Amino acid sequence: MRIAIVDESPARAAIIEDGLREAGMLDVTTFLDRRGIAARLEALSPDVVLINLANPHRDELEEVFALSRAMARPAAGEIR
C-alpha cells in the first residue's frame, strides 16, 4: 500500500511515518510543503493520503476534497 503524508511539521510527520513503518507499511512518502501538492500526489498516486488539517482554511479543505475525488482514493485528515 502506497501512503502519502502531507504535514508541514517535520516532527509530527516523522512520528506518523515511523509508526506506519513499524506497522509494516514500507511505501510511505512525506510531503512537508503543500505548494503544488495536487500535482505531486497525482504523480505519486498513493492509495491513502494522510493530511494535517489543523486550522484549515476553506481553500485547503476544498483542495483535500478535490484531491480525494480526483484520485478516487480516501484522504484522512486530522482536524484540531
DSSP letters for 47-62? SEEEEE-SS--HHHHH
4-47 pLDDT, tens digit per residue, is 998 889 999 999 999 999 999 999 999 998 888 878 888 898 88
pLDDT of residue 79: 47
Q: Classify burial at 56, counting beta carbons within 10 Å of its beta carbon; exposed 0-12, middle 13-18, buried 19 or more.
A: middle
Residue with cell 516532527: 11
pLDDT band at 55 (very low <50, low <70, confident <90, very high): low
